[in-house]
Amino acid sequence: VLQLNESKAQSELLLASIEQKSGELTPIPFKLAINFKKNAKYLKYAAIPIIILLLSYVTGKINWFSDSYERVVNYKTAYEPPAPFQFFVVNADLNVVEGNDFKLMVKTAGEVTPENVKIVYDDETYFLQNTGAGEFEYVFSKPTSNITFRLNANDVVSKPYNLAVTKAPVVTGFEMVLDYPAYTQKRDETLKGTGNAMVPQGTNIIWKVSTSATDEVFLYAKDTLPFKKT
């Protein structure tokens, strides 16, 4: 019985000690744990990365960090420095009908504005006309076939572009077959290279047209009539 009483007293003493320690370990409020006034002088250093990110976003170079990270990870890969400017073709399309001039309009955008831009095609190099800050023009004179070209300035070379030349529709031949009425006693005849003729009443006329790069031909008179393809 004496031994049990001693054990009980020791347990109560242990519990009282634990409660006392728990009170001492009560969490300290965060605002008391950190002295903001003392650490305010360090806030300017924390603002530096935020300012850098904002400037990167405004200048359009938000990918600089990911690009640098990729170069570090792939350190064995050779990287070329980014071009100081880019070429932009302003034309809505690169199509022209054969025999017509085509004016190519180009703009550059970037940190550097080149003074001269060259165009390379058919193993020849020509200068574009400078029409303003970063704006250039070049006229293809009556091209007859498709042209693949590149733009070049300050060692910056554009991707290849293709000017598509559409064949112009052309009438290559014209003839009139005249079927005279019986009362004239005239033999039928064919007139080539003309669409004009004086014929007696009752004559049947057949127009025959030869064309190139043409899908349809129409006769425009009082009524619009299509030619039959043969």
Segment 137-163 shows an average pLDDT of 95
Is-contact 150 163, C-beta < 8 A? Answer: no
Residue 2 C-alpha from the chain's centroid: 96
Could you tell me which residues come within 8 angstroms of residue 138 by beta carbon, excluding any fewer than 6 positions away?
Answer: 103, 104, 106, 119, 126, 128, 129
Give the pLDDT of residue 2: 41
Segment 107-112 shows an average pLDDT of 92
If residue 43 lies in a helix (H) or strand (E), which one and from where to where?
Answer: helix 43-58
Mean pLDDT of all residues belonging to the chain = 79
Segment 126-146 shows an average pLDDT of 95
Higher pLDDT, 88 or 48: 88
17 by Cβ neighbours in 10 Å (0-12 / 13-18 / 19+) ranks as exposed
119 pLDDT more than 70: yes
Indicate the pLDDT class of residue 221, thresholds 50, 70 and 90.
confident
Higher pLDDT, 101 or 19: 101
218 pLDDT more than 70: yes
CA gap 203, 208 in Å, rounded: 16
Indicate the pLDDT class of residue 44, thresholds 50, 70 and 90.
low
Place of tokens 């002088």: 41
Give the pLDDT of residue 66: 58
Indicate the pLDDT class of residue 70, thresholds 50, 70 and 90.
low
Higher pLDDT, 79 or 34: 34
The CATH class, in words, for 85-166 is mainly beta
Give the pLDDT of residue 3: 46
State pLDDT tens for residues 158-208.
Answer: 999 999 999 888 888 889 899 999 998 899 999 998 778 888 999 998 888
Q: What percent of the chain has pLDDT over 90?
A: 39
Give the pLDDT of residue 224: 80
Segment 85-104 shows an average pLDDT of 95
Q: Where are the domains of the chain?
A: 35-79, 85-166, 170-226
